[in-house]
Structure formats: C-alpha cells, structure tokens
Amino acid sequence: MLEPVVAKGQLTETDRFIFESWGYFVIPNVLSKEEAAEAYDVSQRLHESRDREFGQIGRTYESEPALERLIDHPDVLPKVQGLLGDRFVLQAGWNTMQPAHAGNGGWHQDGSSAFDFKDLGYPVPLIQLRVSYLLTDQTVPGMGNMELIPGSHRSRVPLPDSIRQSKGDIGIGHVICAEAGSALVFHNGVWHRTFRHDGDYDRFTTHYVYSPPWVRAADRFGNDPEFLERTTPLRRALMGEFARPDAPFGANYEPLPI
Ligand SMILES: O=C(O)CCC(=O)C(=O)O
C-alpha cells in the first residue's frame, strides 16, 4: 500500500517532497492511547450540549487542557514550522463529531467562501495548514476516516459537480487508515471529505489550522483574555498576540519563541 507516513519531529527533505507531491502526510503515534482517550472523553463532554449530529465546536483549546496541549505538540509543530516558516498563527481549532453510523460527508477544499483561495492564483497557495488528531482508531475504511485525493491541491480543475452533488466515490480517493493518536497534516487545497462511519460510537477528530500571521482567525473574533493570561508565551504568540514593532504587518516581528 502507498502510504504517506512520516516520522515525528523536524520536517525532512523527504517529508517536504511527500507534502508537495500528495498535499498531506500522516504522523503515527503522536498521542498515546491514553492521551487520545482523554481527548476523546473531553470531546464527548463538549458535544453533549448539541444535537447528536455531525458538527464542529471551535476554540475548545481555551477551556480544555487536553486540547490546549495539542496547539504546539512537540512532535508536530516542527513540521508546521518546516512548512510555514518561523512566523505563523493558529487560525482556528475545530473539534468535530461524526455520529455513529453516519454516511460520507461532502467533498470540499478548505478555505473561505467569502474569498475563495483559488482566486489568489495557481497553484492554490498554502494558507491553512491543517493538523487533524485522530481520537479514534481508523485502521480500516468505514471508521469515520478522512478521505483525501492525493495531489488534488495542484489540480487546475475542480472536482466535478456530479461527484460532489452525489457525494460519490472517485477511484483516486485515499481513505486514511491510521490508529487513534495519529496526526494528519494537510494543505487547504487538497479535496477531502469525511468518510462513512459504521461504528456504534460517535467519532471525534480535533483539528488545528495554522496560517500566515496576516490571516484572520476563523474560530474567534478575539482571544479570551483569561486564556491568554494563563497559557504559555509560545501559545500566546500562536494566538496572534505577538508584539509588532510598528504598523500592523508593516515590518518584521520576532519569530515564534519555539
Ligand atoms: O470529519 C472531520 O472531522 C472533518 C471534516 C472536514 O473535512 C472539515 O472540517 O473540513
């Protein structure tokens, strides 16, 4: 089986080649089974107040230490730094629930319907680098896996409407099979969807989106002052709370304190 699996830590030249070619890679064993189970329990509690249907809750890292830790996970952040450079922010964090026995989600690219990233130029630039932590085992298809189309961030043409409208399959769809605790890292331009979930339990995956520092946050209008007060200098900087020496984005500012 072809699998874009890479090791934890620094982005190697091979990791970069895989990312450039496929638009994503998977890092196994980032969270221990216990850490993944703890994050699962937290996610379950957070989603209890919603209807039991597919949905996402933003900025859960502010209130939940088990999810806050993932903002700058030491096995993963070096990959983000390798791909985005020394100055980037956490543009959003979403915790997603897919209920038991749910079907496929819709195919899409990440971005903004207010201003489509593809209108910025070709190839679609890397504006949102997503890290998705799998909190359940997704070792075979049909476990609420993510499905991605390798290399589709470089496609000049969109996924055909016929496939999108019917939520149909495509022969080059790659259903990511990985254990709980793995992290999937992917480019906003890659066409993807949530694959069906045949299990009797709800599936939770928690997502962190990193962007250049001039991109506006998508999960919040402002940061929670109490969270900023008690979190670490690195996480504060990742929340966009860095000091700018003069006009906003007019000049350089200190790199992240990594
Ligand atoms: O299934 C998920 O957790 C993520 C769904 C998705 O593709 C998205 O949020 O863009």
Q: Token digits for 219?
A: 């999960």
What would the pLDDT profile of 105-134 be if each residue is shown by its tens digit? 999 999 998 899 999 999 999 999 999 999
Q: Which H helix or E strand runs over 130?
A: strand 129-134
CB 23 within 8 Å of CB 189: yes
Contact 116, 138 (CB under 8 A): no
pLDDT of residue 10: 98
Measured in Å, residue 96 CA sits from the centre of ligand 1 at 7
Q: What is the model's pLDDT at position 242?
A: 82
Query: Residue with the nearest Cα to atom 5 of ligand 1?
Result: 194
Question: Whose alpha carbon is nearest atom 4 of ligand 1?
Answer: 194
Ligand 1 binding pocket includes 194 (Cβ within 6 Å)? yes
What pLDDT is recorded for position 141? 98
Spatial neighbors of 51 by CB under 8 A, at least 6 apart, are none
Please report the pLDDT score of residue 136 as a whole number: 98
Which pLDDT score, from 0 to 100, does residue 62 have?
98
Element (H, E) at 22: helix 13-22
Q: Is the CB of 96 under 6 A from ligand 1?
A: yes
Q: What's the chain's average pLDDT?
A: 96
CA angle 240, 243, 245 (to 5 degrees): 130
- CA of 110, closest atom in ligand 1: 10
Q: Given 3.20.20.80, 2.60.120.620, 1.10.240.10, 3.30.70.100, which CATH number is that of 13-238?
A: 2.60.120.620
Q: For 229-251, how does the pLDDT look when each residue is reduced to its tens digit (9 = 90+)?
A: 999 999 999 999 987 776 665 66
At 4-23, the pLDDT tens digits run 999 999 999 999 999 999 99
According to the model, what pLDDT value does residue 252 have?
A: 74
Q: Which residues in the chain come in under a pLDDT of 50?
A: none
Angle at 41 between CA 52 and CA 6, to 5 degrees: 105
Between the CA of 112 and the centroid of ligand 1 the distance, in Å, is: 14
Distance 222 CA to ligand 1 centre (A): 23
